[in-house]
């Protein structure tokens, strides 16, 4: 039977990180949200960013003390790795590993680099994971509304006997305990995250959208109709699923749509699809995906760049850009986001 995870709340948090200097290494979407929420929770934060990088200036403008990753790691007892996964190996080797002291804490927002050996933490330090289940801007906005985004946490190495307590305290500083905090492992967090991205959320969804669009266009239907039916209206369904699961979706779509769902859905996503999903999961579990991603990066990302450009050049992108130009609410949302980012 599948295990039900315990939900930790604010009552489970302790002030174990008070008086601890936290270095946030990487100031992208997640790093910025982590740093700002931790600071507003009363914790001592320094940002580690390259002096010549764009993040350095933004962190300074946000009012943070900013140092090079090396200097930030030297002065901190708790180091939060929020930089991109593929940068972890170099950052750890050059900036963090030489500056770790016994009893320090190394935290990751995703378990990839530890699980697949890009980072091999030494003994004598705590190694933990805290992963908000939402993008950085949502993590920040929900915190500002006195709410929070649910988080996952895990302990890979407990050298001090307080790693569990520190992970909960860090998530609490992000606002995660205002919603719910669930304990997992580096392995489970990484493998489920990669599988979801590849089979459903990114790879699966975008290929399904493109194939549906192509099927209608090949049958002679206007590209605009194909775009609306296969991409644009996806948001309606995703919002209903997000808000109330499959049950709410069925409550708010027509009976004709429900019958079409029940009649045809399993003909598109079928047992062959499930077997392909199992293959993808086994490649993640075995480390094959991570090895291929390492090799692709080492080679300069030739396949990555080619296939990404193919997506950008797809006709659904051309017609979509034109149609979205008529959606005034999207332009308003973009202006609001730009203004908030500039504040």
The separation between the first and the last C-alpha atoms of the chain, rounded to the nearest angstrom, is 49
Confirm or deny that 340 is annotated as ligand binding.
no
* Residue pair 98/51 in contact by the 8 Å Cβ criterion: no
193 is in an annotated binding site: yes
Q: List 155's β-bridge partners, or say none.
A: 128
Token pair of 227, please? 């775009």
Structure tokens at 99: 């500056």
Q: In the chain, which ranges are continuous DSSP H helix? A: 29-40, 54-61, 69-75, 88-91, 112-115, 136-144, 163-174, 186-195, 203-218, 223-227, 234-252, 255-268, 271-286, 288-298, 302-313, 315-324, 328-342
Say which of 56, 110, 156, 164 is annotated catalytic: 110
198 among the known binding-site residues?
Answer: no
Residues 6+ apart with CB under 8 A from 56: 27, 49, 50, 66
Q: Is 110 a catalytic residue?
A: yes
10 annotated to a ligand binding site: no
What does the block give as tokens for 76?
A: 């901190």
Tokens matching residue 248: 């709410």
CA separation for the pair 155, 89 (Å, rounded): 20
Ligand-binding annotation for 28, yes or no, is yes
Q: Does 233 belong to an annotated binding site?
A: yes
Residue 333 tokens read as 């949302």
Strand order in the sheet with 181-183: 7-8, 181-183, 151-157, 126-132, 105-108, 78-81, 21-25, 44-48, 65-67
Please tell me whether residue 263 adopts helix, strand or coil conformation: helix
Q: Flag whether 304 is marked binding.
A: no
Determine if residue 55 is labeled as part of a ligand binding site.
Answer: yes
Please check if 50 is assigned to a binding site: yes
Per the annotation, does 113 bind a ligand?
A: no
User: Is residue 27 part of an annotated ligand binding site?
Assistant: yes
Classify residue 138 by its DSSP letter. H
Binding residues for NADP(+): 27-30, 50, 55, 136
Binding residues for Mg(2+): 193, 197, 229, 233
Residues forming the active site: 110
Binding residues: 27-30, 50, 55, 136, 193, 197, 229, 233, 254
Binding residues for substrate: 254
């Amino acid at each position: 039977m599948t295990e039900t995870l315990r939900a930790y709340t604010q009552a489970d948090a302790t002030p174990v990180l008070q008086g601890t200097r936290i270095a946030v290494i990487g100031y992208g979407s997640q790093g910025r949200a982590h740093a700002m929420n931790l600071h507003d929770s009363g914790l001592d934060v320094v940002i580690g960013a390259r002096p010549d990088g764009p993040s350095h200036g933004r962190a300074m403008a946000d009012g943070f003390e900013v140092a090079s990753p090396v200097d930030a790691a030297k002065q901190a007892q708790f180091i939060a790795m929020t930089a991109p996964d593929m940068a972890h190996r170099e950052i750890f080797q050059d900036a963090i590993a030489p500056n770790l002291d016994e009893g320090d804490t190394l935290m990751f927002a995703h378990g990839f680099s530890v699980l697949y050996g890009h980072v091999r933490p030494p003994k004598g330090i705590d190694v933990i994971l805290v992963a908000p289940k939402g993008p950085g801007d949502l993590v920040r906005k929900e915190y500002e509304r006195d709410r929070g985004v649910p988080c996952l946490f895990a302990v890979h190495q407990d050298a001090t006997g307080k790693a569990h307590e520190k992970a909960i305290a860090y998530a609490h500083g992000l606002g995660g305990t205002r919603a719910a905090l669930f304990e997992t492992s580096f392995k489970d967090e990484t493998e489920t995250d990669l599988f979801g991205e590849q089979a459903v959320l990114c790879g699966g969804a975008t290929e399904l959208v493109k194939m549906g669009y192509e099927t209608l266009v090949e049958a002679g239907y206007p590209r605009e109709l194909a775009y609306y039916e296969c991409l644009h209206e996806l948001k309606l369904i995703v919002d209903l699923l997000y808000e109330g699961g499959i049950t709410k979706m069925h409550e708010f779509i027509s009976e004709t749509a429900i019958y079409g769902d029940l009649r045809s859905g399993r003909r598109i996503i079928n047992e062959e699809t499930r077997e392909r999903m199992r293959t993808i999961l086994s490649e993640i579990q075995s480390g094959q995906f991570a090895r291929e991603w390492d090799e692709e990066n080492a080679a300069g990302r030739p396949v990555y760049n080619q296939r990404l450009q193919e997506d950008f050049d797809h006709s659904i992108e051309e017609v979509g850009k034109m149609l979205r130009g008529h959606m005034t609410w999207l332009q308003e949302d973009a202006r609001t986001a730009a203004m908030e980012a500039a504040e």
